[in-house]
Amino acid sequence: MTPDPELDAASEWSDLLSAAAEEPSFVALGRLARRARRLVRSVGGPPAARPLRLAILSGGSTELLVGPLELLLRVRGIEATIQGAAPGNWVAELLDPGSSLSQARPDQIVLVPTEDDLPPIEASHLVGPAANEQATTQARAFWRPLEDFHGRCGTEFVVTNLIWTRPRPMGSLGATCTDDPLSRVRRFNLALADTRPDFVNLFDLEALAARVGYENFRDPRFWNTAKQICAPAAVPALARGLAAVLAATQGLSKKVCVVDLDDTLWGGVIGDDGVEGIRLHEGDAVGEAFRHFQRYLKGLADRGVLLAVCSKNEADVAKRPFEKHPGCILELDDFVGFQANWQPKSDNLWALARQLNLGLDSFVFVDDNPAEREEVRQALPQVRVPELPDDPSGFADCLASSGYFEVVRLTDDDTRRAAQYRGRQQAERLRDASRDLATYLDSLAMRTVVAPWRDVDLQRIVQLTAKTNQFNLTGRRLTLDEAKAMAASPQWVTLSFSLADRFTDHGLVSAVFARVTKDALVVEGWVMSCRVFRRRIEDLVFSCLDRGADTRGLPFLVGRYRDTGRNGLVKSLYPDAGFESCDPSDGEERFRRAVQPSVPALPFEVVIDDD
């Protein structure tokens, strides 16, 4: 049989990216990065990677960072073209309209300021509010070159805050002195966070350097000889952290954390040791380690990460610690899925993906057993599987440092996500008990609010365009500035759709943006949360688009569909709604139908909020 070159290339990329995901050393990561570049030259980049034009700026040298960052972005599904820059005056580079950076107009810029970028003391010996006010003034001045560049090029930024690794003349007394450089860095970092523009995402370099160790992070020998922004040994941690934040800006953070139970959430085996015998007690060193890990998982759940269980256990036995053990931090209600049986764990992960209606590439699987981890890696390479340490004291740090759940924005919908999924599961049980779809939808007592895009909703709308893959007609991701401009322009029709039913408030679940042309309203983008598939929201969207076109005297609706490799679910959406194919071009299908002003009967109350 003749080998399939595409399959061979995909397999080689899978092996390489899996090795890069296992947190290799600087030397090993460099070796993998060189291998990746050879692979790009011979067979091209990894399949289904999202392109990103990226530049890195710093007063120091970022040469050692470029290759590892490029590779670790590939691990997260991003094919980045990275433009480096020589160490120098990054302020001038941003302000000069004729600079190579301005001509390149990258999608994102990573800016890594150094100690030399700490603003000078304008007035010494300030105390209290005056020192904070000076830091705020300096932070606003720091942002001005970025604002200028963003205004010209539309580029977004990831900016690291500052660290101070040089000796402090005042020693520990500096903690009480406003002129101490470390005290000034701390105030300046807080001011950066408080004054950050919307187009900037902060990377907490201060926290990363503290975790790695300041002496390990910055080596004065490398700074003095080559202006390297960090020591070689710290490059993997910095590259991983930046890759995680950049992936989050692209909507590529993971959504589901699936955990084993025995020796993962508690010490011991619940089926053998019973509730009283497992180690989860306060005051017990091993129990405290597992409680610490549970507390971290609880924090993830509270800000929108979905938790699920995948354990080889009897289901009723597996649930007992959550119901009866006083040391258990997590509760059953914290989980949106609970697979406890004796099937292979890869099978149960498939079951959870179907239950939650999410792709397996949204999943992270956490298990203390190396054999179970390897089974999942082999069977489901799209699932991320951290290599947990032997000591449970390191579980939380391992998962946190992976960056899989990095987030750059939080919305109200994020904090309600677990409750929304539980409500969806209750609705599905009702569906299974209903005699037909119409009866089921009527029984949900749904209420939908339709509104133009409002400032208060824009963060959620941008998040939807970034993170939605299945119901996403064109794959277009919006920035906050783009969304603001569309919402304010008469050349665009922008609509949002929020849904509540008898079980839960799903929040803002769909957004559509359509361009006004001389004879048609052209749908340039449409996304919808997987939580509300098959609720007939799409019929309401079409009705609202018809209304928008009709009021503007436009005779046609035009819809675009671009295959992203992950949105096959909606490939036939337009034909199924009576649209006919027209003018396909450039890997894109286009569909058109005449406007239909009549309003269909829908199984929910519709509220039009034009305010």
Establish if 245 belongs to a structural domain.
yes
Establish if 177 belongs to a structural domain.
yes
My answer on whether 232 and 268 are in the same domain is no
Which CATH number goes with the domain that contains 26?
Answer: 3.40.50.1110
Cα separation, 344 vs 348, whole angstroms: 7
Cα separation, 177 vs 183, whole angstroms: 7
Cα separation, 135 vs 133, whole angstroms: 5
Q: Which residues contact 409 (CB under 8 A, 6 or more apart)?
A: 459, 462, 463
Answer with the one of 192, 217, 249 that is the final residue of a domain. 249
My answer on whether 313 and 361 are in the same domain is yes
Residue recorded with tokens 């040298």: 61
My answer on whether 433 and 379 are in the same domain is no
Cα separation, 566 vs 486, whole angstroms: 26
Cα separation, 218 vs 221, whole angstroms: 9
3 state SS of 142:
helix
Residues of the chain with confidence (pLDDT) below 50: 1, 3
3 state SS of 475:
coil
- For residues 88 and 58, the answer to whether their CB atoms sit within 8 Å is no
With CA atoms as reference, report the closest residue to 6 among 43, 51, 36, 40. 43
Q: Which residues contact 387 (CB under 8 A, 6 or more apart)?
A: 22, 23, 373, 398
Cα separation, 323 vs 346, whole angstroms: 27
Q: Tally the residues of the chain.
A: 611
Cα separation, 198 vs 443, whole angstroms: 42
My answer on whether 9 and 73 are in the same domain is yes
Cα separation, 555 vs 417, whole angstroms: 40
With CA atoms as reference, report the closest residue to 140 among 181, 191, 89. 191
- For residues 14 and 43, the answer to whether their CB atoms sit within 8 Å is no
User: For position 611, what pLDDT does the model report?
Assistant: 63
Q: Which residues contact 556 (CB under 8 A, 6 or more apart)?
A: 519, 520, 521, 549, 592, 593, 594, 595
User: For position 1, what pLDDT does the model report?
Assistant: 47
User: For position 428, what pLDDT does the model report?
Assistant: 77
Where would I find the beta strands (DSSP E) of 306-385? Answer: 306-312, 335-341, 363-366
Per-residue CA distances from 200 to 109, 119, 196, 330, 372 (Å): 10, 19, 6, 34, 40
My answer on whether 164 and 18 are in the same domain is yes
- For residues 258 and 292, the answer to whether their CB atoms sit within 8 Å is no
Cα separation, 526 vs 538, whole angstroms: 10
With CA atoms as reference, report the closest residue to 24 among 203, 239, 277. 239
My answer on whether 310 and 433 are in the same domain is no
My answer on whether 500 and 485 are in the same domain is yes
User: For position 7, what pLDDT does the model report?
Assistant: 58
Summarised one tens digit per residue, pLDDT across range 383-401 is 999 999 999 999 999 999 9
Residue recorded with tokens 């089974």: 375
SS3 helix, strand, coil % of the chain, rounded to 5? 50, 20, 30
Answer with the one of 225, 249, 273 that is the final residue of a domain. 249
Number of C-beta neighbours around residue 213 at 10 A: 11
Establish if 349 belongs to a structural domain.
yes
Cα separation, 428 vs 579, whole angstroms: 30
The two tokens of residue 459 are 């963060």
Domain boundaries, position 126: 5-249
Q: β-pairing, 588-594 with 556-562?
A: antiparallel
Q: What is the DSSP secondary structure assignment for residue 599, as one 8-state letter?
A: P
Cα separation, 350 vs 357, whole angstroms: 10
My answer on whether 513 and 424 are in the same domain is yes
Cα separation, 360 vs 371, whole angstroms: 20
My answer on whether 173 and 304 are in the same domain is no
The half-sphere exposure of 386 on its side-chain side, counting CA atoms within 13 A, is 27
My answer on whether 341 and 489 are in the same domain is no
The two tokens of residue 270 are 């619940």
Establish if 407 belongs to a structural domain.
no
Establish if 108 belongs to a structural domain.
yes
Answer with the one of 202, 220, 249 that is the final residue of a domain. 249
Cα separation, 40 vs 74, whole angstroms: 11
Number of C-beta neighbours around residue 111 at 10 A: 21
Cα separation, 471 vs 510, whole angstroms: 9
Q: Which residues contact 275 (CB under 8 A, 6 or more apart)?
A: 320, 321, 324, 325
Establish if 340 belongs to a structural domain.
yes
Establish if 302 belongs to a structural domain.
yes
Cα separation, 234 vs 165, whole angstroms: 14
Per the structure, the count of domains in the chain is 3
Which CATH number goes with the domain that contains 489?
Answer: 3.40.630.30
pTM: 0.85
- For residues 388 and 395, the answer to whether their CB atoms sit within 8 Å is yes
188 residue type, one letter: F
With CA atoms as reference, report the closest residue to 113 among 149, 148, 139. 139
My answer on whether 33 and 144 are in the same domain is yes
Q: β-pairing, 156-160 with 108-112?
A: parallel
Cα separation, 344 vs 365, whole angstroms: 13
> In 497-577, where does DSSP find H-type helix?
537-551, 573-576
My answer on whether 319 and 424 are in the same domain is no
Which CATH number goes with the domain that contains 297?
Answer: 3.40.50.1000
Q: β-pairing, 50-58 with 78-83?
A: parallel
Cα separation, 169 vs 381, whole angstroms: 52
DSSP letters for 64-92: HHHHHHHHHHHHTTEEEEEE---SS-HHH
- For residues 583 and 520, the answer to whether their CB atoms sit within 8 Å is no
Per-residue CA distances from 28 to 192, 236, 244 (Å): 35, 10, 20
Q: What is the DSSP secondary structure assignment for residue 49, as one 8-state letter?
A: P
Estimate to the nearest angstrom the gap between the alpha carbon of 318 and the chain centroid: 31
Report the run of H or E that residue 589 belongs to, with start and end. Answer: strand 588-594
Establish if 506 belongs to a structural domain.
yes
